[in-house]
Amino acid sequence: MWLGVVLAVLTAVLAGGTLAGQASWAPKLALDLEGGTQMILAPKVEGGSDINEEQLNQAVAIIRQRVDGSGVAEAEISTQSGRNVVVSLPGTPTKETRDLIQASADMNFRPVLLNGDGAPVPTESLTPEDQLPKPTAEPANGSDINWITADIYRQFETMDCNNPAPESPEASDPTKPLVTCEPATETTPAIKYILGPVEVKGGNIVTSSFQLQQGAQGAVTNDWAVNIQFDDEGTAKFKSVTERLNQFYVAAGGETGNDPKAQFAIVLDDQVISAPRSLAVITDGRPQITGGFTEQTAKVLSDQLRFGALPISFEIQSDQQISATLGGEQLRMGLLAGIIGLLLVVVYSLFQYRALGLVTIASLVVAGALTYLAIALLGWTENYRLSLAGVAGLIVAIGQTADSFIVYFERIRDELREGRGLVSAVENGWKRAKRTVLASKAVNLLAALVLYFVAVGNVRGFAFTLGLTAIADLIVVFMFTHPTLQLLARTKFFGEGHRLSGLDPKRLGVVPLYRGAGRLRTPEAKPSVVRAKNTGAAAEAERRMTIAERRLAEKQEQLTGSSKSAAKENK
Amino acid sequence: MSSSFANFGNELYTGKRSYNFVGAKKLWFIIAAVAVALSILIPVAKGGFNLGIEFRGGSEFTVSNVQSTDSALGEKVVEDVVAGSVPRVANVAGTTMRIQTDKLTDDETLRIKEGLTSAYGVTNNEVTSTFIGPTWGADVTKQALIGLIVFVALAAVLMALYFRTWKMSLSAMAGMLVTMMITAGVYALSDFEVTPSAIIGFLTVLSYSLYDTVVVFDKIRENTADLDASTRRTFGEEVNLAVNQTLVRSINTMMVAILPVGAILFIGAGLLGAGTLRDLSLALFVGILIGTAATIFIAAPMYAWLRQNEPDLVKQAKRVEHRRSANNARTEESAEPAEA
C-alpha cells in the first residue's frame, strides 16, 4: 500500500524535523489564533507615482530590516495584492516600533570620521573624562574631527554593534554627526562609526547596477563591482567630497594606508550599509565600488542603492491587535463545533451505508491525518500558518471529501442493481466514479488555485486548506478507499451482501434480468467498461446484436461477475 | 428507515419512482426568478448590506475576560468620549466584548481604552484596539471578485472541454448564479455583517455549487452518451432519469456537507456570538442547500431545455414517440396479458 509509505515518510520527515528542533508536531498558528498585531501598510513613493513590484519588494526588505533591527522576534512581513505590505508581529509593539515601521526610507552619504570594532569598550578601559576629545574650532568640512565632541565620543565607545539597541524612529539630523553601526554580515564583523554630516543625498542617485569588474586591460575579472550613477547635483557634490577624501587616502599611504577619514559611508535608515574608501577623485558622477563582493552581495547593495534612493513612506491602512484569548476561544469553539459536526457525519454515514460507513470514516481519518501532516510540514518548511479561516476551510472540506466516497458507493450500488456481483460491481463502479471524482475535484482545485493566487489575506489561507484537502482526498480515495473496498468485496460479509454491509442485494432491489414473458427488465445505462477508446465500435457492435444475443451477453457478464467473487472466496 | 431510503434509491434508479425535475422546468424557473428578484429586493429595501467594519472603516476594541457582558457599559464609555457617536457593541465568544466605533483619534482611542478597562473591570492588557482603514475590506473584495471572475471563466472552459458541450457550462453557470444571488439575499435578510469571512463563504459556495453540478452532469453525460442508438427515452427523460438516479447521492452529500457547517452555525454561533466562523457558516449553510437544489431544479432542466431543439435530438424524440405509439398499438392488439 503506497499510502502507508506516504504517511510513514511524511511522519518520519516531520519526526526528524521535530527531533532536530526545527519542526513541531502542532501546526503553526496564524495571528488571529495566536494573538498579536497586524499592520497593513500602503507604501507611497514621493511624487505620488504608483509603486511597482520591485519597489514593493524593496519596501518589504526595508521594513524587515527595521523590524528585525527593533528586536521583535518572529515578525512576518509579506506583500498583499501587489500594493500593500502586511506586517504581523506577535504581541503588542511599542509606539517606537510602530513609528519605525511607518517611517520613510532615508538614504544618504556621510564621510567617516572614526571607526572601530563593533564591541563596546569595556568600562575599565574607557577613555577618562579629561582625555575625551574637545573640539578646538568650528568644523571646517564634513571630515573635520572637530565634529567629535566628548558626548559623541563617549557614545561611540559605549555603543554595542553586536547587540544593537532598538532603532530610533526619529531620523537623525543630517547636519549633525552620527554614531552608528554597520551590522555584522556572514563574512564581516560589525563595525561602529562616527560619521560626519550628510554630504550627498540618496535622492541624487539616478540608478545603480552591478557587474563583473573589468581589469586594467578591459578583460573581465572574477570580482564583482557595484556602479552608481549620480545626477548633476550629486555629481558635483560627490566630486568635491571625493577630492577631499582622496587626499586622506593618498596621505595615509594609498592601498596600504588605513585612515578611516578616506571612507565615505552609505547610510540607509541611519545604518551603514557600506563604507568604501575613496581611491580616486570621481568627476563624472559614476563611482564604482569594488572589493570583496560576491554576486549576491553586489546585487543586494546595488538594490539598496537603487531603491533606497526612493523615499518610500508608508500609510497605515489597518492596524489590528488580536487578542490571543479571543483567537483561542474561537478556535476551541470552532473545533468543538467541528467535532460535533463530524460525529453527526459519522452517525449519518453508518445509518446510510451501514458497514460501508466505516470505510467512509476510516477514509476521513486517513485524509485528516494526511492533511494534518501536510499542514505541520508546511508550517515547518514554508512557514504556513493555520488561521481561523483555514480551520473553517478544513471543517467545510469534511463534506466535500466524504462526497468522493458517496459518489463511489452510489456507483457500486448502481452496479449491484444492474445485477453484478460485488467484485465486478466494485471494479465497474470505480471506473465510472473515478471520472466523476476527478472532474469534480478538478473544479475544487481550480477554485483553490485561483483564489490562492488572486485573493489576499484570509482568503488565501482558506483557499490553501481547500486545495490541500482536495489533494488529500484524491490520494485517499485512490490509494485507500478503493483498495480497501477491493479487499472487502472478497470477504464473506460484504461479498454475500450481509444485511448490515450496506451492500445487501435484496435491499438494493436487485432483480433478475429476465422475469418471465414480456417482462424483460431493461438494464439502465449499460456498464461502459471500455468507454475511452472504442466507444464508437462498442456501441456499433452492441447495436448490431439481436435482443437474444444481448440478453445472453448480459447474463454471461453477470454470471462471470458472481462466479469470480465465489471463486475468490473459496481460496 | 434506512431500508426504505435504500429502497427509495432503488426505485429512483430503475425509474419506477421518478420526480419530474425536467418536465416541470417552467415552475422551477419561475420560483427561481421570484427568489432571485426577492434576493435583489431585500438588500435594496433594507438599504444595502450590513457592512462589517472592514468595509466601513473605523476603530475596534476587544475586551477579554469581562465581568459583565452588558453592552450598555461599552456604549456609555464611547459616548462619554465621543459625543453623538453610535458604537456597535457585541458579545463575542463567551466573556469577550467587541466595541466598534467610527474612526477615532489616537487620544480618543486611549481614553476609550481606559474607560473600557474600568467599565468592564479588566486589566489594561485585556483591552486591545484596532484601526481598520475603509479601503481594506474593499481591497479584499476587489481581489476576491477578480478571483471569482477568473475562476468562473476557467471553470466554464474546463467544463466545456470535459463535457464537450458549452451548453453544460452555461447551465452550470446559471445554476451557480441563482445560488449566489439567493445566498446573498438570505445573508442580507439575516442582518449578519458582511465581513471578509462572509466573502470567503460566498467563494466556497461558488466552488461547491459547481462541484455539485459537475457530479450530476457527469451522470447525465453517461446516460445520454449513446442516445442516438436508443429509442427508449427522449433526451429530456434521460436527463431527468440521471437527476433521479443521483438524487440519493445529492441528498447524502448535502447532508454530510451541511452537518459540520450547521454544527458551527447553530452550536458555534450560540457559544461564539459574532465572528469569523458564524459569518462563514451562514453563507455556507444557505449556499450548500441552495446549491444542491439549484443543480437539480435549475442546471439540469436548463441543460435539457437548451438542447431539446437540436435537430438530432428532435429526430430522436420522434423515434421514441414512434416506438411508443407502436408499442401501445401492439399491446392493445396483443391478446396475451402483460403480466406473466
Contact A389 B248 (CB under 8 A): no
Per-residue model confidence (pLDDT) at position B290: 92
pLDDT tens digits for range B44-59: 887 777 777 777 777 7
Looking at per-residue confidence, does A114 or B160 come out higher? B160
Of B15, B214, B256, the CB nearest to A345: B256
Q: Residues of B with CB below 8 A from A528's CB?
A: 222, 225
Of A341, A509, A525, the CB nearest to B264: A341
Half-sphere exposure of B106 (CA within 13 A, CB side): 1
Question: Is residue A570's pLDDT more than 60?
Answer: no
Is residue A229 within a helix (H) or strand (E), and if so which, with residue range? strand A220-230
Q: Residues of B with CB below 8 A from A89's CB?
A: none
Q: Residues of A with CB below 8 A from B280's CB?
A: 389, 392
Separation between Cα atoms, residue A411 and residue A416, nearest integer Å: 9
Cα A22 from chain centroid? 17
Separation between Cα atoms, residue B70 and residue B97, nearest integer Å: 9
Half-sphere exposure of A244 (CA within 13 A, CB side): 19
Separation between Cα atoms, residue A250 and residue A260, nearest integer Å: 12
With CA atoms as reference, report the closest residue to A367 among A470, A444, A463: A470
Cα A242 from chain centroid? 44
For residue B200, give how far its alpha carbon lies from the nearest alpha carbon of chain A (Å): 6
Scanning A512-541 for CB atoms below 8 A from B yields 515-519, 521-522, 524-526, 528, 531, 535, 539
Separation between Cα atoms, residue A510 and residue A532, nearest integer Å: 28
For residue B172, give how far its alpha carbon lies from the nearest alpha carbon of chain A (Å): 12
Closest chain B CA to residue A33: B276
Neighbours of A107 (CB within 10 A): 25
For residue B135, give how far its alpha carbon lies from the nearest alpha carbon of chain A (Å): 7
Band the pLDDT of A508: cuts 50, 70, 90: low
Of A344, A508, A518, the CB nearest to B263: A344
Separation between Cα atoms, residue A102 and residue B211, nearest integer Å: 44
Contact B196 A458 (CB under 8 A): yes
For residue B52, give how far its alpha carbon lies from the nearest alpha carbon of chain A (Å): 14
B90, B98 contact by CB (below 8 A): yes
Q: What percent of chain A has pLDDT over 90?
A: 0
**Across residues A183-187, what is the average pLDDT?**
73
Most B CBs within 10 A among A444, A451, A515, hence the mutation to make, goes to A451
Does B224 contact A at CB distance below 8 Å?
Answer: no
Closest chain A CA to residue B130: A320
Does A94 contact B at CB distance below 8 Å?
Answer: no
Scanning B293-332 for CB atoms below 8 A from A yields none
Of B64, B214, B268, the CB nearest to A440: B214
In this structure, the strands spanning B96-101 and B58-63 are antiparallel
Does B77 contact A at CB distance below 8 Å?
Answer: no
Q: Which residue has the cell 481581489?
A: B143
- In A428-552, the DSSP E strands lie at none
Q: In 3-state terms, what secondary structure has residue B50? A: coil
Q: Cα(first)–Cα(last) distance of chain B, in Å?
A: 32
Half-sphere exposure of A102 (CA within 13 A, CB side): 15
Say how many CB pairs under 8 Å bridge A and B.
Answer: 292
Separation between Cα atoms, residue A53 and residue A79, nearest integer Å: 10
Q: Which residue has the cell 554627526?
A: A177
Per-residue model confidence (pLDDT) at position A1: 59
pLDDT tens digits for range A139-167: 777 777 778 888 888 878 877 777 766 55
Q: For chain A, which residues make up each domain, given as ranges? A: 107-308, 335-571
Architecture in CATH for domain A335-571: Up-down Bundle (1.20)
Separation between Cα atoms, residue B244 and residue B255, nearest integer Å: 17
Which range among A384-388, A444-448, B42-46 shows the weakest confidence by mean pLDDT?
A384-388
Mean pLDDT rounded to a whole number for chain B:
80
Most B CBs within 10 A among A458, A519, A529, hence the mutation to make, goes to A458
Neighbours of A96 (CB within 10 A): 14
What's phi and psi for A562, nearest 5 deg? -75, -35
**For the complex shown, is ipTM > 0.90?**
no
Grid cell digits, residue A255: 592601498
User: Can you name the CATH fold of B2-50+136-326?
Assistant: Multidrug efflux transporter AcrB transmembrane fold (1.20.1640)
**Across residues B195-200, what is the average pLDDT?**
77
Q: What percent of chain B has pLDDT over 90?
A: 8
Separation between Cα atoms, residue A475 and residue B256, nearest integer Å: 20
A353, B249 contact by CB (below 8 A): no
Separation between Cα atoms, residue A10 and residue A4, nearest integer Å: 10
Task: Give the Å distances, CA to CA, from B235 to A527, B162, B240, B311.
Answer: 19, 20, 9, 12
For residue B309, give how far its alpha carbon lies from the nearest alpha carbon of chain A (Å): 23
Q: Is B58-132 a domain of CATH 3.40.50.1010?
A: no
Looking at per-residue confidence, does A130 or A423 come out higher? A423
pLDDT tens digits for range A11-27: 777 777 766 656 667 77
**Across residues A377-388, what is the average pLDDT?**
74
Per-residue model confidence (pLDDT) at position B336: 47
Does A448 contact B at CB distance below 8 Å?
Answer: yes
Question: Is residue B1's pLDDT more than 50?
Answer: no
pLDDT tens digits for range B276-321: 677 788 888 999 999 999 999 999 999 988 988 888 888 888 888 8
Q: For chain B, which residues make up each domain, given as ranges? A: 2-50+136-326, 58-132
Alpha-helical (H) ranges within B51-193 are 53-56, 71-81, 106-119, 134-163, 166-190
